[in-house]
Amino acid sequence: MSSIFRGNFALFLKIAILAGITAILSLLAQSAFASSQIAIGTYLVIAVVVLNFTYFTKVSIPLKFFAPGILFFIAFVIAPIIFTVIMSTYNYQTGNYISKDAAIEQVLIRGVEPDASQTTFDLVSGRSADGSYAVLVSDIANQKFFISTENELTYVETGQLTFNEYGVAITAPGFSVTSVDELATNDAYSKIRYKYSDGYYIIIEAQGVGAVFRQSIAYDAKTDTMKNIQTGQIYVDNKRGNFALEDSPETMLTPGWRAPIWFENYTKLVTDSRVRTPLIKVFIWTIIFATLTVLSTFAFGLLLALALNRKMRGRRIYRSILILPYAMPSIMSILIWAGMFDSEFGAINNLLHTHIAWFSSATFARAAVLLVNLWLGFPYFYLICSGSLQAIPSELLEAAAIDGANPRQVFRRITLPLLLQILSPLLIASFAFNFNNFNLIYLLTGGGPRNTLDGEVAGATDILISYTYQIAFGRNILDFGLASAISVLIFFLVASISFYGLRKSKVMETFG
């Protein structure tokens, strides 16, 4: 066996694998740099260097074990966390999503205006004689026909053209028509500005239709300003990711770019009532939800464990049935419950002979969420509690009984305190888990009911994490900046809960 790890074959294998990985990562790094993803490219280069150093030198033996793990860990765990913190200081949202260079490019593309009479032409896309992108334009009103490329405009005699039934020229000598299929896949045709006349050019508006435009916005790199060519208005960088007029800062050019706004996302959480009010509402419900879930699942789990904590008929059958909710993939169970709560066709209303629109009322929706989470969670505490009950030394209980305590007293004075002591880290862990129980809320109620007409982002059953998701992805506007700020806030909340739990368990280890 050991020869496998020493011989030439092993060395060959090692070199082959490393060479393969090096090649792939280097290629990726190269294309990352080529599309100016400097951070990702740099990380890939560092990864290549680290891997080769680790496995071809004897720098560090432990590194040979954890280098791949750590590289993944940094890339997909640490980097996103750092990136979240960075994004929380930016106005990273729809409208300010791209880099400044890309935004300038977009502003210039959009900074056009139609000519005075808003002329449009029928046209056909294709290639000119020299192979460049071109359009064959029919100015039917003036009976003029021309082939236009980015730099050139050539009139064509009517006699050389063929027309369709609407009088639109469809072929011309030297002009090759591009098929509809190619037009659909190659958007280069529609991105080009085809030459028209002094300062004006033709933009393809829809397939077969072009309109005459001219540039109205120009960028001055020296002063970093945008200028409206016609009116002479100057737009300056407002330091918040947009070009805006100096004397009327509300007038901005779109799109903007992502720009640092430092702690504004955080101060918004406190000062902006449109953010603060729902946040407080959601926070309170999150605490209530997590607390009630832990209490109810623990209570039912414990009661079951107590009920079945003796030799009795059917115990094994009970146990295997009771564990089923825990064994089912939770996604499926949550979706099944969502269907059962359906107001029209759901089984719950059938069973109760009611017509409750469960997910349209805040109270009913919250009750449903708690009930479903009880179903999902009680088997866990049943399993844990029945294990822990067996771990309590029977001498203790017997001694208490001899001293004349009745079963209820034994439970209240001995069993419960001991259990709580053993299980408190798990209760805290369960609280932390439910604090962030995204799947349940998202799949069961979607956070609702939520009055979207009023622009409400936070629904009645939204917990912090689903609210964050809602801000980031759930609406037409993506707001990664604000969502990241809330993420950072949640992290500190959860971290303090967990540290409290840790300290508890440390205490237990010392005394237990």
Partner 1 sequence: MNKWLRENLWRHAFAVFMCIFALFPLYLIVLSSFNPGGSLQLTSFVPRVLSMENYKMLFSSPKIPFLSWVKNSLIISSAVALSSVVIGAASAFAFSRLKFKGKKFGIQLLLLVQMFPAILALSAVYVIMERVYSFAPSIGLGSQGGLILVYLGGSMGVNIWLLKGFVDSIPAELDEAAKIDGASPVQTYWLIFIPLATPVLAVVCLLSFIGTFNEFIVARLFLVEMSGRTVAVGLQQFIGGQYATNWGAFAAGSILASIPIVIIFLSLQRYIVNGLTAGSVKG
Q: Which residues ranging from 44 to 103 are in contact with partner 1 (CB under 8 A)?
A: 60-66, 68-70, 72-73, 75-81, 83-84, 87, 92
Q: Is 493 exposed, middle or buried (0-12, 13-18, 19+ CB in 10 A)?
A: middle
Does residue 461 touch partner 1 according to CB under 8 A? no
Cα(181)–Cα(209) distance, rounded to whole angstroms? 17
- In the complex, minimum distance from the CB of residue 388 to partner 1, in angstroms, rounded to a whole number: 9
Does residue 448 touch partner 1 according to CB under 8 A? no
- In the complex, minimum distance from the CB of residue 20 to partner 1, in angstroms, rounded to a whole number: 15
Q: Other C-beta atoms within 10 Å of 39: how many?
A: 10
The pairing of strands 225-228 and 217-220 is antiparallel
Question: How far, CA to CA in Å, does 54 sit from each of 3, 5, 15, 66, 264?
Answer: 22, 17, 12, 10, 43
Does residue 502 touch partner 1 according to CB under 8 A? yes
Judge contact between 225 and 237, C-beta under 8 A: yes
> What is the rounded radius of gyration, in angstroms, for the C-alpha atoms of the chain?
34
DSSP three-state, residue 116: coil
**Which residue, 149 or 297, is less far from partner 1 as judged by CB?**
297
Does residue 323 touch partner 1 according to CB under 8 A? yes
User: Which residues within the stretch 184-243 sit at the binding site for partner 1 (CB under 8 A)?
Assistant: none
**Which residue, 78 or 416, is less far from partner 1 as judged by CB?**
78
Phi-psi region of 174 (alpha: psi -120 to 50; beta: other; left: phi over 0): left
Judge contact between 211 and 203, C-beta under 8 A: yes
Does residue 365 touch partner 1 according to CB under 8 A? no
Please pick, from the candidates 103, 369, 426, 441, the single residue that binds partner 1 as defined by CB under 8 A: 426
Contacts of residue 19, defined as CB under 8 A and 6 or more positions apart, other chains included, come to none
User: Which residues within the stretch 266-295 sit at the binding site for partner 1 (CB under 8 A)?
Assistant: none
- In the complex, minimum distance from the CB of residue 243 to partner 1, in angstroms, rounded to a whole number: 23
Contacts of residue 506, defined as CB under 8 A and 6 or more positions apart, other chains included, come to none
Residue whose tokens read 């101060």: 267
**Which residue, 295 or 321, is less far from partner 1 as judged by CB?**
321
Cα(94)–Cα(480) distance, rounded to whole angstroms? 9
Question: How far, CA to CA in Å, does 419 sit from each of 60, 279, 315?
Answer: 46, 35, 22
Binding mask 463-492 for partner 1 (x = CB under 8 A): --x--xx--xx------x--xx--x--xx-
Judge contact between 275 and 268, C-beta under 8 A: yes
Does residue 439 touch partner 1 according to CB under 8 A? yes
**Which residue, 136 or 308, is less far from partner 1 as judged by CB?**
308
Per CB under 8 A, the segment of 136-144, 150-158, 160-168, 436-444 that binds partner 1 is 436-444
Binding mask 327-356 for partner 1 (x = CB under 8 A): xxxxxxx-xxxxxx-x-xxxx--xx-----
Please pick, from the candidates 145, 213, 243, 378, the single residue that binds partner 1 as defined by CB under 8 A: 378
- In the complex, minimum distance from the CB of residue 376 to partner 1, in angstroms, rounded to a whole number: 10
Binding mask 291-320 for partner 1 (x = CB under 8 A): ---------x--xx--xx-x-x-x---x-x
Binding mask 8-47 for partner 1 (x = CB under 8 A): --------------------x--xx-xx-x--x-------
**Which residue, 81 or 184, is less far from partner 1 as judged by CB?**
81
**Which residue, 389 or 429, is less far from partner 1 as judged by CB?**
429
Does residue 380 touch partner 1 according to CB under 8 A? yes
Cα(385)–Cα(395) distance, rounded to whole angstroms? 19
Contacts of residue 481, defined as CB under 8 A and 6 or more positions apart, other chains included, come to 87, 88, 89, 90, 91, 92, 93, 258, 261, 265
Which one-letter amino acid corresponds to residue 279?
L
**Which residue, 12 or 66, is less far from partner 1 as judged by CB?**
66
Does residue 166 touch partner 1 according to CB under 8 A? no
**Which residue, 37 or 216, is less far from partner 1 as judged by CB?**
37
